[in-house]
Amino acid sequence: MRLSRYFMPILKENPKEAEIVSHRLMLRAGMIRQQSQGIYSWLPLGKRVLDKVNAIIRDEQNRAGAIELSMPTLQSAELWQESGRYDAYGKEMLRIKDRQDRPMLYGPTNEEMVTDIFRSSVKSYKDLPLNLYHIQLKFRDEIRPRFGTMRSREFMMKDAYSFDLTREGAEHSYKKMFAAYLRTFDRLGLRAIPMRADTGPIGGDLSHEFIILADTGESEVFCHKDFVGFDIPGESTDFDSVEGLQAIFDKWTSLYAATSEMHDEAAFNAVPEGDRLSARGIEVGHIFYFGTKYTEAMGAKVQGPDGKEHFVHMGSYGIGPTRLVPAIIEASHDDNGIIWPASVAPFDIVVINMKAGDQACDDTCELIYAALSKAGKDVLYDDTDDRAGTKFATADLIGVPFQIIAGPRAVANGEVEVKDRKTGARETMTIEAAINRFVA
Ligand code: ATP
Ligand code: MG
């Protein structure tokens, strides 16, 4: 991508409305724009990161056996009247009427709708287990939207819904998502700790929130510090192995970890003092097992091996991609800007032409840009006629992991500089070596 032809509206000044660093940096880097309170556009740079986050979420959902579909944002109130949540949900639900005066709503979650899809076609235990997910916008008329897309009114959620014949089956489905979440957050460069959580309006009796420790987090959390070093389940994890997933679950729930709603002071005090971590955290995922709550209310039954009809056991599993992007920034930035983990960086490399219009600099940059693009790298080429200092500041701000800097003096020797955004280390090398550094 040539910066001269891209749309990346960088802000020079610190936006006054931003209270936390991720919000400030997302606005300054031109990733998002607020359209009305708690409702955001994702500008091209932000959209690239969001897409990469979603690709990782999708990959791990698929690996764990979940199947993607797409459900609408607008839902008919009827389904919610069946479950009883139309009245119970309160003011967070945006209620709308269509031209025939029929009550509709902008979905805050999809338990009812997915249960409706399920009951319309699944009739036998032989079709179970089943886990259906989508990545879709949600709306919750939050009383206090804040911190940019960290807590917005319209936001994206990956929500998965599992269906099993028995409680045991459903618990295995829950553990699949539990392990998939550990892998997902790890691939996003984050350390998320599963904590026992309250089930809230979704209902049910087994629930974990996945929390990232951060000073700006809205939740107060308490856990054993060893979680910070626990191993993540590997790529070869067998999601069908009941014992294997049980072992992962047991390990990751063996030590104390709870959000303030579930906090048990006495149990926490039983943890040796030096091992206690009491901190603030950002909730990036939340999983629930809630049994037959919705299937009983909505009549979702299947025939079991005994020939009888059984209400199906369900769980639901949410991750917030539009919250994850700022959460990653909270965890990874410095005074100069964002430092993206490679897995979600909007570009892999930025090529900085320090003197656009200088033939040798232009030729060198074009050569590098073409070679790296051809090798499948996402390359941003700063071919604008901004001053070199502005280009360096922009490159640091947007947090691309590597910068290749071409200035007249080095280029005259057939050389460029490669800078690692995270460490700040710079290395001068031949043009060929710089290309091979990323292609080889
Ligand atoms: P919170 O406690 O932060 O209000 P929640 O418990 O209401 O969240 P869930 O219903 O569990 O959220 O939603 C699943 C995930 O969706 C959350 O873990 C979070 O990542 C994301 N999410 C929920 N509400 C918002 C929001 N207002 N803005 C951005 N992401 C959100
Ligand atoms: Mg929650």
Residues 282 and 369 grouped into a single domain? no
Closest listed ligand to the CA of 142? 1
Residues 420 and 309 in one domain: no
Q: How many angstroms separate the CA atoms of 130 and 173, rounded?
A: 9
- What are the CA-CA distances from residue 12 to residues 1, 24, 360, 394, 397 (Å)? 22, 11, 30, 10, 10
Question: Would you say residue 148 lies in a domain?
Answer: yes
430 vs 28: CA distance, rounded Å: 33
Domain-terminating residue out of 290, 317, 338: 338
Q: 285 and 383: one domain?
A: no
Q: How far is the CA of 317 from the centre of ligand 2 (A)?
A: 10
User: What whole-number percentage of the chain has pLDDT above 90?
Assistant: 96
Co-location of 333 and 365 in the same domain: no
- As a whole-number percent, the residues of the chain with pLDDT over 70 amount to 98
| pLDDT of the residue at 202 | 60
pLDDT at site 233: 98
- Confidence class of residue 201 from pLDDT cuts 50, 70 and 90? low
Q: Which uninterrupted H or E stretch holds 232?
A: none
- What residues have CB less than 8 Å from 153, skipping those under 6 apart? 37, 38, 39, 139, 140, 141, 142, 145
Tally of domains in the chain: 2
Alpha carbons 301 and 211: distance in angstroms, whole number: 35
Which of 315, 338, 361 terminates a domain? The answer is 338
Shared domain check, 396 and 254: no
Q: Is residue 170 part of a domain?
A: yes
Which phi and psi angles does 365 have, rounded to 5°?
-65, -40
pLDDT reading at 200 higher than 70 = no
Q: pLDDT tens digits, residue range 215-255?
A: 999 999 999 999 999 999 999 999 999 999 999 999 999 99
Are residues 238 and 292 both part of a single domain?
Answer: yes
Residues 30 and 163 in one domain: yes
Is 313 within a domain? yes
Residue 343, domain member (yes or no): no
Q: How far apart are CA 387 and CA 12, in angstroms?
A: 14
Instruction: Express each pLDDT in 343-388 by its tens digit.
Output: 999 999 999 999 999 999 999 999 999 999 999 999 999 999 999 9
Q: What is the pLDDT of residues 43-52, one digit of tens each?
A: 999 999 999 9
Give dist(CA 94, CA 58) in Å, integer. Answer: 28
Give me the residues paired with residue 16 across strands.
Answer: none
Report pLDDT for 440.
73
**Residue 305 sits in the same domain as residue 371:** no
- Does a structural domain hold residue 344? no
In a domain, 135, yes or no: yes
**Which pLDDT score is estimated for 198?**
76
The whole domain housing 308 covers: 3-338
- Token pair 């309006």 is found at 201
pLDDT at 197: 84
Residue 355 shares a structural domain with residue 279:
no
Could you tell me the two tokens for 14? 């610190």
Residue nearest to atom 24 of ligand 1 (CA): 151
Q: Over range 102-114, report the average pLDDT.
A: 98
Q: What does the pLDDT average to over 305-320?
A: 98
Are the C-beta atoms of residues 134 and 158 closer than 8 Å to each other? yes
Question: Atom 21 in ligand 1: which residue has the minimum CA distance?
Answer: 320
pLDDT at 283: 97
Residues with CB under 6 A from ligand 1: 140, 142, 151-152, 155, 157, 200, 283-286, 318-320, 322-323
The residues, ordered by sequence, that sit 6+ positions from 223 with a Cβ below 8 Å of its Cβ are 193, 195, 255, 256, 257, 258, 277, 279
The pLDDT, as a whole number, for residue 85 is 95
pLDDT tens digit sequence for 248-300? 999 999 999 999 999 999 999 999 999 999 999 999 999 999 999 999 999 99
Residue nearest to atom 26 of ligand 1 (CA): 151
- Please indicate, yes or no, whether residues 289 and 367 belong to a single structural domain of this protein: no
Instruction: Look at residue 108 in the predicted model and tell me its pLDDT.
Output: 98
Q: Are residues 18 and 158 in the same domain?
A: yes
CATH number at residue 316: 3.30.930.10
Read off the CATH number of the domain in which 369 is found: 3.40.50.800
User: Do 278 and 395 share a domain, yes or no?
Assistant: no
Q: Is the peptide bond before 129 cis (omega within 30 degrees of 0)?
A: yes
What's the mean pLDDT when you consider all of the chain? 96
Mutate to test the pocket of ligand 1, among 143, 157, 188 (most ligand atoms within 8 A of CB): 157
Instruction: Using the predicted structure, report yes or no on whether residue 203 has a pLDDT greater than 70.
Output: no
**Residue that the structure tokens 């579930």 belong to:** 262
User: Which of these three, 338, 367, 386, is where a domain ends?
Assistant: 338
